[in-house]
Amino acid sequence: MQTYGHWINNTLVPVASMARVGDVFDPSRGVVARQVVMASPADVELAVAAARVAWPAWSDTPPLRRARIFFRFKELVERHRASLAAVIAAEHGKTLSDADGEITRGLEVVEFACGAPNLLKGEMADSVGTGVDAYSWRQPLGVVAGITPFNFPAMVPMWMFPLALVCGNTFILKPSERDPGAALLLAQWLAEAGLPRGCFNVLQGDKLAVDGLLVHQDVAAVSFVGSTIVAEHVQRLGVAHGKRVQALGGAKNHLVVLPDADVEATIDALLGAAYGSAGERCMAISVVVLVGDTLADPMVNGLTDKLHALRLGRSNDAAAEMGPLVTAAHRQRVLEFIESGLQEGARLLVDGRNAVPVELADGFFLGASLFDRVTSAMRIYQEEIFGPVLVVVRVKDIDSALRLVNAHPYANGTAIFTRDGGAAREFARRVEVGMVGINVAIPVPMAFFSFGGWRRSLFGDHAVHGAEGVRFYTRLKTVTQRWPERTGGADFSMPTMK
Nearest residue to 112 (alpha-carbon basis) of 437, 433, 451, 412: 451
Question: Of 471, 417, 486, 374, which is closest to residue 119 (Cα–Cα)?
Answer: 471
Nearest alpha-carbon partner for 205 in 228, 233, 183: 183
Return the closest-CA partner of residue 148 out of 110, 182, 97: 182
d(CA 267, CA 306): 9
Tell me, rounded to whole angstroms, the distance of Cα 240 from its chain centroid: 24
282 noted as active-site residue: yes
**Using an 8 Å Cβ cutoff, are 153 and 126 in contact?**
no
What gap in Å lies between CA 276 and CA 35, rounded to an integer? 27
d(CA 266, CA 271): 9
Count how many Cα atoms sit within 13 Å of the Cα of residue 134 in the half-sphere of its side chain.
9
Of the candidates 78, 53, 25, 4, the residue with the CA atom closest to the CA atom of residue 199 = 53
Percentage helix, strand, coil for the chain under 3-state DSSP, each rounded to 5:
40, 25, 35
Q: Which residue in the list 114, 167, 199, 282 is annotated as catalytic?
A: 282
Query: Nearest to residue 140, comparing CAs of 214, 58, 70, 215?
Result: 58
Distance (Å, whole) CA 57 – CA 19: 33
Q: What angle do CA 350, 323, 456 make, to 5 degrees?
A: 75
Active site residues: 282
